[in-house]
Amino acid sequence: MGRELYDHERGDVASANLAELPEQAGVVRELSEMLDKGKGWRRLQG
């Protein structure tokens, strides 16, 4: 499964995929758990 995580707060164009960085493992896990519970990305948009 491919994973992508970008930091859009550092600029308008986020081109570096941060999902594989060890320091982002907690964020990736948290987002994956939300998606696994049936809360697809469209439902998470606010």
**pLDDT tens, residue by residue, 2-41:** 889 998 887 777 788 999 999 999 999 998 888 877 766 6
- How high is the pLDDT of residue 7? 87
- How high is the pLDDT of residue 31? 87
- How high is the pLDDT of residue 22? 97
Q: How many domains does the chain have?
A: 1
Residue 8, φ and ψ in degrees, nearest 5:
-85, -5
- How high is the pLDDT of residue 17? 93
Global pTM?
0.67
Domain of residue 29 covers: 1-46
Q: Please, are residues 19 and 4 in contact by the beta-carbon 8 Å criterion?
A: yes
Q: Please, are residues 5 and 25 in contact by the beta-carbon 8 Å criterion?
A: no
- How high is the pLDDT of residue 13? 76
